[in-house]
Structure 1
């Protein structure tokens, strides 16, 4: 009898199923993302070899490498693990729906854990020095963590969805704050949209040099500094240090140029801004990234740090080597972003580039519209809200109402789509303040800018 593939003598263990789940991934490396989404700890597997194989897959995946049999074998050997029985795993029965199988393994692991946990609690309860109330609080917290993990893997029923709806409705009724979603730090935008809601995908689109990254950065900075929420930021155009340099510029009023030169600046002012930004819950990825790698990174940020918002700058720069056709690639990325928002229960804000068609139009017709989004069909369909930026001063335009003066800082925010909200009229966008040299953003009138 092969002890690797038999678990008849064990309680709450199914080694055959463990091997089969891993065998699917080793023979179909594209399934690695599913495995890591459903199982997030190696100890879900009972057998030590299976734990090491899971660690190999997770490590290879995080680095953007292949997770096939030979790559895993090489990883195991380089980490000093035995590979004798590795090839037995791929001889297991193959299936393609990992979710229910992973849930079975998870529930078996929970039962094993509860058995050990019960013994530990019994010992603690028998200790006369143990504080009973503290022990109860610990048990309550541990059980909540276990239930949260189980619920994230199970497919909710109608009653579960109704409960979420009613709880949300009750929370909104009791909410004394002005917005039910994540605030952007731009008052006019928040009043129009009610904020960015968890489970939703939002698109922030504009042409080159209009201010997409600055607006996204302002939202991120507002969330980590003023609200205190954890944020994940995937920046594919700039390094993380450049993003933070822009944050410092906005905090101090120094221009990007002045900070780049590093001359004539007040070090105490810089130190104050750096101190204010230090140790804030912002997690940055600033390297080229594959779609499946981004999924895993977002899941890790959510699991470890509880991020409320994920920002991707920008959508068309995310790689997807499995799809070569540009339209299909962007469509797949857009759909995955939406699914990611729903599964992780976070707001996802994806920046997007416009095509060149709007540049060919004249006058106020240069204002962006949904059809200007590159590969717009699927993006428009997947998104819950679309914000589009326009700077009329760049084109020498003036409003018919002479009381509204256009300056280099005038920024229009068009909202052609907002699910469960109010889109803007094409001729009546929201107005915001954006100073490109210092990256400062705010509502109009000018005094509302958070200097």
Structure 2
């Protein structure tokens, strides 16, 4: 037979071949695995953590595997005889020739040893089929002008779908022998001893580290407070301190840090950090009222900070799925060790959320997703959160767990809850006003007491650890510098570090 030389005809032939390409599957692999299971049900143990019925390409094979799992789970034997009683006469079985097909499957046994290999091949082909389907959906939805999604939302939806697909085959950890768990516990205690009590990521704040032992892997930490308390400033200080410690000692308690800022821009966060490090007030930097000496300080500070492994993502309206995808990517690229999110109420619900769900349900889903993220990445996830207005209606403005805004699941899912509180913020708004008929001297004394109270609390802040799964709850005093919008260690003549 002569070869076709017409270039136009050849191009049409290639296009036709591309158009009729079939999704990847391997019926023989599916038959071989089912044969192994029908001969020895213990072959299920080799694949049960990875393989689900929907991973089979053939509908009959899907049903057979589903029945095998069910029977094995109930302690029954799954073989051609028992399956024939259940499937006899069904469309799935009749489609492949009836009960005799089960006998032929059992005859195609490959041995229990090869079951896992075939299971992985079936799963791999399933993932490839899903990727093809996802790619087609992306193309079709991108052409569709009727969808109420903008470009960023379309990208977020695709990222979330890809992440869900990427984690489909993550098997459960299963049982950990107590001997292994003991060894891990001993290693943790030894690391904490060598790091002077720090078993987690440092916050850079001595008293807070002494109380918490650092921020622990797989923990969801909620940092909450009313507006004006300094939540973002404290989170920025912790993020920078952890990243700076990592740059100084790669094997120390620091961490490569991802800061997802849904409220402030990357430039604004960098300005805060630079302002503190160069000791130049932020308002001078913003208004350009700097001397040549100030510029020299800035240059020196920038040179010192460039090596700090702090990564800022200021994309607004991210979903938990999008954060998960970006954090996983950074973990692969730079060994991510800490995630900070500012803040919970600015996250967008996932594209899969039901339209009729209310805000409480959405927040519950998001906090649950963030806890799963902490466990998946095995890093601390520090999330900022607003508090309800109930704080303002009380004489004592110290926040409580019941003040967590809009959802009780925040407290439930969190491993640790820390409140930020600055008495100075409230004192400043309570300047004594002279009442009708009030003695001038009495008013002057009240004004003097108020001014003394302002001075005493100006730089004082509290980090109230209201919940901690791994240790005690208590209040830690911190130093707050409003000029540079940063937190530091509290020091005075009577102060001893926490536990000292």
Q: Which residue of 2 aligns with 1:176?
A: 194
SS at match of 2:280: coil
Q: Which residue of 1 aligns with 2:378?
A: 345
Listed one character per residue, the Cα deviations across residues 191-222 of structure 1 (whole Å, up to 9, x for unaligned) are 11111100100010011111111111111111
Larger-Rg structure: 2
1:390-429 to 2 correspondences below 5 Å: 390-396=421-427, 406-424=456-474, 429=475
- Unaligned runs of at least 5 residues, structure 2: 1-19, 34-50, 58-121, 144-163, 248-254, 431-448, 496-500
* Separation of aligned partners in 2, 1:267 and 1:341: 40
CA contact 1:390–1:412 (8 Å) conserved in 2: yes
CA contact 1:211–1:436 (8 Å) conserved in 2: no
* Separation of aligned partners in 2, 1:46 and 1:339: 25
- Unaligned runs of at least 5 residues, structure 1: 24-43, 58-66, 77-96, 104-152
* Separation of aligned partners in 2, 1:22 and 1:205: 47
Q: Which residue of 1 aligns with 2:340?
A: 311
Q: Between 293-302 and 404-413, report the one with greater CA deviation.
A: 404-413
CA contact 2:360–2:407 (8 Å) conserved in 1: no
* Separation of aligned partners in 1, 2:265 and 2:405: 24
Q: 1:305 to 1:45 in 2, by over 3 A?
A: farther
* Separation of aligned partners in 1, 2:309 and 2:123: 31
Following TM superposition, by how much is the alpha carbon of 1:374 offset from its aligned partner in structure 2, in angstroms?
A: 0.1
For the aligned residue pairs, the C-alpha RMSD in angstroms reads 3.8
Following TM superposition, by how much is the alpha carbon of 1:383 offset from its aligned partner in structure 2, in angstroms?
A: 0.5
Aligned residues: 337
Following TM superposition, by how much is the alpha carbon of 1:169 offset from its aligned partner in structure 2, in angstroms?
A: 2.0
Q: 1:309 to 1:22 in 2, by over 3 A?
A: farther
1:42-121 to 2 correspondences below 5 Å: 50=128, 54=131, 69-73=136-140, 102-103=168-169
Following TM superposition, by how much is the alpha carbon of 1:165 offset from its aligned partner in structure 2, in angstroms?
A: 4.8
SS at match of 2:340: strand
* Separation of aligned partners in 2, 1:435 and 1:287: 28
Listed one character per residue, the Cα deviations across residues 81-127 of structure 1 (whole Å, up to 9, x for unaligned) are xxxxxxxxxxxxxxxx9789x54xxxxxxxxxxxxxxxxxxxxxxxx
Following TM superposition, by how much is the alpha carbon of 1:22 offset from its aligned partner in structure 2, in angstroms?
A: 12
The answer to whether 1:249 aligns with 2:275 is: yes
Q: 1:157 to 1:74 in 2, by over 3 A?
A: closer
Following TM superposition, by how much is the alpha carbon of 1:375 offset from its aligned partner in structure 2, in angstroms?
A: 2.2
* Separation of aligned partners in 2, 1:224 and 1:440: 16
CA contact 2:246–2:309 (8 Å) conserved in 1: no
Following TM superposition, by how much is the alpha carbon of 1:2 offset from its aligned partner in structure 2, in angstroms?
A: 6.9
Listed one character per residue, the Cα deviations across residues 153-206 of structure 1 (whole Å, up to 9, x for unaligned) are 332122267624522323422541121111111111111111110010001001
1:125-164 to 2 correspondences below 5 Å: 153-159=170-176, 163-164=180-181
Q: 1:374 to 1:162 in 2, by over 3 A?
A: farther
Q: Which residue of 2 aligns with 1:382?
A: 413
* Separation of aligned partners in 2, 1:165 and 1:263: 59
CA contact 1:232–1:310 (8 Å) conserved in 2: yes
CA contact 2:319–2:347 (8 Å) conserved in 1: yes
* Separation of aligned partners in 2, 1:21 and 1:73: 24
CA contact 2:256–2:335 (8 Å) conserved in 1: yes
CA contact 1:201–1:384 (8 Å) conserved in 2: yes
Q: Which residue of 2 aligns with 1:357?
A: 390
Q: 1:252 to 1:308 in 2, by over 3 A?
A: same
The answer to whether 1:215 aligns with 2:215 is: no
CA contact 1:331–1:375 (8 Å) conserved in 2: no
Q: 1:10 to 1:330 in 2, by over 3 A?
A: closer
The answer to whether 1:224 aligns with 2:243 is: yes
Listed one character per residue, the Cα deviations across residues 130-151 of structure 1 (whole Å, up to 9, x for unaligned) are xxxxxxxxxxxxxxxxxxxxxx
Following TM superposition, by how much is the alpha carbon of 1:280 offset from its aligned partner in structure 2, in angstroms?
A: 2.5
Q: Which residue of 1 aligns with 2:314?
A: 286
* Separation of aligned partners in 1, 2:206 and 2:477: 10
SS at match of 1:406: helix
CA contact 1:392–1:406 (8 Å) conserved in 2: no
Q: State which of 267, 274, 293 in structure 1 corresponds to 2:302.
A: 274
CA contact 1:388–1:413 (8 Å) conserved in 2: yes
Q: Between 299-308 and 162-171, report the one with greater CA deviation.
A: 162-171
CA contact 1:409–1:435 (8 Å) conserved in 2: yes
Tell me the TM-score normalized by structure 1. Answer: 0.66
Following TM superposition, by how much is the alpha carbon of 1:253 offset from its aligned partner in structure 2, in angstroms?
A: 1.6
Listed one character per residue, the Cα deviations across residues 290-334 of structure 1 (whole Å, up to 9, x for unaligned) are 222122112212222211100000011100052541111111111
Q: Which residue of 1 aligns with 2:159?
A: none
Q: 1:257 to 1:181 in 2, by over 3 A?
A: same
Q: Which residue of 1 aligns with 2:87?
A: none
* Separation of aligned partners in 1, 2:296 and 2:338: 31
* Separation of aligned partners in 2, 1:411 and 1:167: 36
* Separation of aligned partners in 2, 1:161 and 1:430: 36
Listed one character per residue, the Cα deviations across residues 235-290 of structure 1 (whole Å, up to 9, x for unaligned) are 00011111111110110121221111122241111011111221432222111212
